[in-house]
Chains A and B, each alone.
Chain A
Amino acid sequence: MERNLLKYVWKHSRSDQLWMLVVILASMPTYFLSLELPKRIVNEPIQGVGFENPGDTEFFLQVHLPFGETLFGRPIMLFQGFELERIGFLWALSIAFLALVIANGLFKLYINTYKGRMGERILRRLRYELFDRVLRYPLSRFRRTRASEIASMIKDEVEPMGEFIGDAFTQPLFLGGQALVALLFIFLQNVYLGIATIIVISFQAWLIPILRRRLIELGKQRQIAARQFAGRLGEVVEGIQEAHTNDTTNYERAEMTSILGRLFFIRFELFQRKFSVKFINNLLIQFLSFFFYAVGGYLAIRGTLDIGQLLGVIVAYKDLPAPVRGLIDHDQKRLTVEVRYAQIIEQFTGDELQPKQLHAIPEDGVPRIKSGYDVQRLGVEDESGSKLIETATVAIGKTEKVAVIGGFGSGASAFAEVLARVQLATSGRITLDDVPLEEQPEYVIGRRISFLDGSTYFPQGSVFDTLTYVLKNQPNDPDAADAKIDSLTKLERRRSANFDVEYDTDWIDYERAGVTNQEELTEKLREILTDVNMEEDIRALGLRGSLDPEEFPELAAALLEARNIFRDRLVELGFDEFVEPFDPDKYNTQSSVGENLLFGTAVTKGFEPDSLPGNEMIRKILDDNNLHSPLFEMGKEVASTTLELFGDLDPENPFFDQLNYMNPEDLPLYREVLSNIGDKELANVSEKQRVLIMRLSLSYIEEQNKLGLLTDEMQNKIVEARKLLREKLMALPVMPIAFYETETYNSAASIQDNVLLGRVSNTVAEGYERVTASIRDLLDELELTDDVFRMGLTFNIGSGGKRLSETQRQKLHLARALLKCPDILVANQPLNSLGSREQADMIKMVFDRINASSDENKMGIIWAPMQTALAEMFDRILIFEDGELVEDGTAKEIVSESARFKELTG
């Protein structure tokens, strides 16, 4: 990449910059005229030059051919102009001045827009180019650099360049031009004033860069410190669990404090210097102003300079500091941005980048692997130079099943990584199908080989997205995708030399997964997920997920049917004693008072459990139904009982885990509230007290809290109030509640809760588990298994896949390695979080899949490091020891004859 920012900008925006130059030059005369006019306005109509006698007239807009007198010996008049009297002339000049100001503004608008767009384009290009380089780095690079530092460079550090790029050439031209015009104007008025101005400006030009050297150095330091800051920040957030489980949060605090401190002092010094430079600048400029007023005034009094001229000079001078300061600022910006740019570029060069053509999209199909690997005297070193593999020479055919055995540091893992090009060979030669491995395009390595290891970092997305990621190598129909997007999007994409392939289209390669459409793909996924023992997990995720009934009306209807059947069978299943279905006419003792009142799930904030006590509508309903006062009394009762039970316990006491409606730290507050309220009635307490007490009564659950406070009469009243509240809510334009209704699907609740539509009492041993199992059986019986599975595929796995267990992630990893239908599967401890029994089952399953596949689709396996117990299942065994390939033979030979193998088996 170009190492100098200005050269980079010039290279990619030459024609734009030239056009800008033209526009700027074109804007100069208007600028000059807008300086010239005030002088004429003051001198001619106001002071009366040329209007000495009443009735005198002047010509407005009279145009002479420039230099006409020199060329032809006499002035050549091109336009005679309009003849005007003094007042008319004043108006004409003033209006002309206004027109010039507007013209100037329009020029500025056009120039700013144009260069803004130019800057954004180059910024986009630069960011894309840097990202492209990230994709082409050798993988080892990322073991040295923090991910968030790279992100910080591409995102934040280049940002200020966008602004600068537009200004890179135009700003100095524009401002320089303006300054020159202003200077020229001053010169034309008075040579001495002009010379004085030049002296002051040159002094500035000499002094400022000297003061600024340290600023540049500081700018560089600030950039590096800020990048480290971003890097550490990212690391801490990603490893936040470690900080908690090791009580190192304070260590992290200290480190951040020290980094922030460094940053503070760098920035502080930077500001200090910046402002002192500014101060000196201003001082010099103000000195000029002193000079103009004193000397210019003196000349005017002496009559050498007329008042109009002096005013013009002062106006010009007023405009002069702006461009001069602008130039100085621009130069300052240029320096910082150039340093910044050089810093970034340094980070993005130096390594062997993969050549661009390795990443190309293949013209025709991707070739299959025909013969396999040939490894000659392979040597591998890690970044620190320590040997991972001393030497290994081996050939592995395409469909072989090879177990690589070797413990930690033996080289077995490194061997697998080298075969998948995750690690590069440092010496020797390794070919795949007779082509050096490093020259094989990514589409061969990435599509024909599946590499599988224990790392399971998945980006946020659904299970489906995670699985099909491996099939997204190129869009199915790029031309059709392009046809759909607007031409401006496409045009800008090309102008910034970004990737010229549309993202928003179907990228899934169905053919490679052996299917033709999404329907079949889902079937294929089910088959593979069943093989890796995850199908049931996925369905469980499906039951936990929610469903939009408008998107899936049929499924929602089927689930409603399931709900009815489940309700009918409650007695038969023996669930009637502990499952309490939501019934609009009954009080549900497993739910809180508040829930019973709402009888639904809150959709808006105002109806969530915490906001209920303060909700006006709820308050009104309680008042209207004579419930407010009894519930308030009940709340007081709950508070006093709780204080009686827990009042003298210290907050660490284990009994507090049973207290679900109050925090231990709130006890003193409630004690105070209770004593303040005393015998006061509801009407006489403050709103704050009311809310606190009502919070207790609304979250009271009879079945759990067992205080025996809810009489049947109260329960009936609450059910009545529920109906009235419902009527009121139905009248609202936006429903704040998704009601529990037997006939409608509740989109705010999970699929399982929709079938259940009730509460499970925790008084029955294993009650919840039994209910879950029977719901699953019921959905199977209704042939909804498929739909639940499909819903499971849409489950969002969370950032980094954290909503799945490590085992589930590793299984997903295996599943998608199989989905790719590779020619060779290279594995490096891929299932280390599974038990050895389950690992064996998985390997057997992979073998079964290979046996079941047709001859031309037979997959080879290279699995490292394999447990000795399972190695017999393979055809061939390689044993690594201390970085050397020490044995190589058929599984039969090695198992029966090798002393080493016996030793390893123990």
Chain B
Amino acid sequence: MATLSDEVEMLRKIPLFAAIDPGKLKLLAFASSRKVYKPGQDLFKQGEIGDAAYVIVDGVADVVVEAEAGEIVVANLGQNEFIGEISILCDVPRTATVRAAEELQTLKIKKEHFLGLVTQVPDLGVEVMRELASRLSKTTAELGEARRELSALKTG
């Protein structure tokens, strides 16, 4: 059975939280709760209003996007990944469904606790910004790639 200090260690491995003062991280660990999901069980569904973010402690989760053709798995997430933060940061509905691909152990961090921490620890805010910016640049790069491929298909 994991104790508070184990969970603090777990959180520390996540890049976003790496720079945070151990005291605050301990508070976050205290406030977060462990949730176990069975394979196939959803953590949240696309379109729902988000109320929490999750850290994967063990196991793999699928990120599923619902398209007209049906569900498409767009990514896999593994240990120490942080999921669902966009929805709670920007108050937008969940952009994708996250589903346990195998037995999945997570730490659930409630929206108000996460936001409370961001406002208290400026470093964390910068860290969040950096993470989001890096994702944006990655996504922009991927978008450029996709456009090029699309125009190649059209002309070709």
Chain A residues engaging chain B, CB cutoff 8 angstroms: 574, 577-578, 589, 644-646, 649, 653-655, 658, 702-703, 706-708, 762-766
29 interchain pairs, CB-CB under 8 A: A577-B36, A644-B26, A645-B23, A645-B30, A646-B27, A649-B27, A654-B110, A654-B112, A655-B30, A655-B31, A658-B30, A658-B31, A703-B1, A706-B2, A706-B3, A706-B4, A706-B29, A706-B30, A707-B3, A707-B4, A708-B3, A708-B5, A762-B33, A763-B35, A764-B35, A764-B36, A765-B35, A765-B37, A766-B41
Q: Cβ of B34 < 8 Å from any Cβ of A?
A: yes
Q: Cβ of B116 < 8 Å from any Cβ of A?
A: yes
Q: Determine if A654 and B116 form an interchain contact, defined as CB atoms under 8 angstroms apart.
A: yes
Question: What is the bound-complex CA distance between A851 and B5, given in angstroms?
Answer: 68
Q: Determine if A645 and B3 form an interchain contact, defined as CB atoms under 8 angstroms apart.
A: no
Question: What is the bound-complex CA distance between A708 and B38, given in angstroms?
Answer: 26
User: B9-36: which have CB < 8 Å to A?
Assistant: 23, 26-27, 29-31, 33-36
Q: How far is the CB of B52 from chain A (nearest CB, A)?
A: 12
Q: Determine if A589 and B34 form an interchain contact, defined as CB atoms under 8 angstroms apart.
A: no
Q: Determine if A763 and B34 form an interchain contact, defined as CB atoms under 8 angstroms apart.
A: yes
Interface size, B (range): 20 to 34
Chain A residue with minimal CB distance to B31?
A658
Q: How far is the CB of B154 from chain A (nearest CB, A)?
A: 45
Q: Cβ of B62 < 8 Å from any Cβ of A?
A: no
Q: Determine if A763 and B36 form an interchain contact, defined as CB atoms under 8 angstroms apart.
A: yes
Q: How far is the CB of A590 from chain B (nearest CB, A)?
A: 11
Question: What is the bound-complex CA distance between A764 and B100, given in angstroms?
Answer: 13
Select the residue from A578, A645, A707, A762 with max chain B CB neighbours within 10 A. A645
Q: How far is the CB of A707 from chain B (nearest CB, A)?
A: 6
Question: What is the bound-complex CA distance between A158 and B112, given in angstroms?
Answer: 58
A645-B27, A703-B1, A706-B3 as given contacts; A654 in contact with B36, CB under 8 Å: no
Q: Determine if A765 and B36 form an interchain contact, defined as CB atoms under 8 angstroms apart.
A: yes
Select the residue from A574, A649, A764, A765 with max chain B CB neighbours within 10 A. A765
Q: Determine if B116 and A589 form an interchain contact, defined as CB atoms under 8 angstroms apart.
A: no
Chain A residue with minimal CB distance to B34?
A763
Chain B residues whose CB sits within 8 angstroms of the CB of A765 once the complex forms: 35-38, 41, 43
Chain B residues whose CB sits within 8 angstroms of the CB of A574 once the complex forms: 38
Question: What is the bound-complex CA distance between A645 and B32, given in angstroms?
Answer: 13
Chain B residues whose CB sits within 8 angstroms of the CB of A703 once the complex forms: 1
Question: What is the bound-complex CA distance between A839 and B3, given in angstroms?
Answer: 52
Q: How far is the CB of B67 from chain A (nearest CB, A)?
A: 26
Q: 6 smallest A-B Cβ distances: which pairs? A: A708-B3, A654-B112, A658-B31, A763-B34, A706-B4, A645-B27
Identify which of B4, B23, B26, B113 contacts A708 (C-beta below 8 A).
Answer: B4
> Total number of A-B contacts with CB less than 8 angstroms?
52
Q: Cβ of B7 < 8 Å from any Cβ of A?
A: yes
Question: What is the bound-complex CA distance between A205 and B129, given in angstroms?
Answer: 95
Question: What is the bound-complex CA distance between A645 and B29, given in angstroms?
Answer: 10
Q: How far is the CB of A588 from chain B (nearest CB, A)?
A: 13
Question: What is the bound-complex CA distance between A644 and B27, given in angstroms?
Answer: 9
A654-B112, A706-B4, A706-B30 as given contacts; A644 in contact with B23, CB under 8 Å: yes
Chain A residues whose CB sits within 8 angstroms of the CB of B5 once the complex forms: 708
Select the residue from B26, B31, B113, B116 with max chain A CB neighbours within 10 A. B31
Chain A residues whose CB sits within 8 angstroms of the CB of B35 once the complex forms: 763-765
Q: Determine if B7 and A706 form an interchain contact, defined as CB atoms under 8 angstroms apart.
A: yes
Question: A649-B27, A655-B27, A763-B33 are known contacts; what are 7 more A-B pairs with Cβ within 8 Å?
Answer: A646-B27, A655-B31, A655-B113, A658-B30, A706-B2, A706-B4, A765-B38
Question: What is the bound-complex CA distance between A762 and B38, given in angstroms?
Answer: 14
Chain B residue with minimal CB distance to A653?
B116
Q: How far is the CB of B112 from chain A (nearest CB, A)?
A: 4
Q: Determine if B27 and A589 form an interchain contact, defined as CB atoms under 8 angstroms apart.
A: no
Chain A residue with minimal CB distance to B110?
A654
Q: Determine if A578 and B36 form an interchain contact, defined as CB atoms under 8 angstroms apart.
A: yes
Q: How far is the CB of B45 from chain A (nearest CB, A)?
A: 13
Q: How far is the CB of A585 from chain B (nearest CB, A)?
A: 19
Question: What is the bound-complex CA distance between A703 and B27, given in angstroms?
Answer: 16
Chain A residues whose CB sits within 8 angstroms of the CB of B4 once the complex forms: 706-708
Chain B residues whose CB sits within 8 angstroms of the CB of A762 once the complex forms: 33
Question: What is the bound-complex CA distance between A654 and B1, given in angstroms?
Answer: 26
Chain B residue with minimal CB distance to A644?
B23
Q: Determine if A655 and B33 form an interchain contact, defined as CB atoms under 8 angstroms apart.
A: no
Chain A residues whose CB sits within 8 angstroms of the CB of B38 once the complex forms: 574, 765
Question: What is the bound-complex CA distance between A32 and B35, given in angstroms?
Answer: 94
Question: What is the bound-complex CA distance between A326 and B10, given in angstroms?
Answer: 88
Chain A residue with minimal CB distance to B100?
A765
Q: How far is the CB of A660 from chain B (nearest CB, A)?
A: 11
Chain B residues whose CB sits within 8 angstroms of the CB of A655 once the complex forms: 27, 30-31, 113, 116
Q: How far is the CB of B118 from chain A (nearest CB, A)?
A: 12
Question: What is the bound-complex CA distance between A522 and B13, given in angstroms?
Answer: 61
Q: How far is the CB of B11 from chain A (nearest CB, A)?
A: 13
Chain A residue with minimal CB distance to B24?
A645
Question: What is the bound-complex CA distance between A644 and B21, given in angstroms?
Answer: 13
Question: What is the bound-complex CA distance between A628 and B83, given in angstroms?
Answer: 44
Contact with A along B79-112 (1 / 0, CB 8 A): 0000000000000000000000000000000101
Select the residue from A577, A644, A655 with max chain B CB neighbours within 10 A. A655
Question: What is the bound-complex CA distance between A764 and B106, given in angstroms?
Answer: 10
Chain B residue with minimal CB distance to A659?
B30
Question: What is the bound-complex CA distance between A645 and B7, given in angstroms?
Answer: 15
User: B115-146: which have CB < 8 Å to A?
Assistant: 116
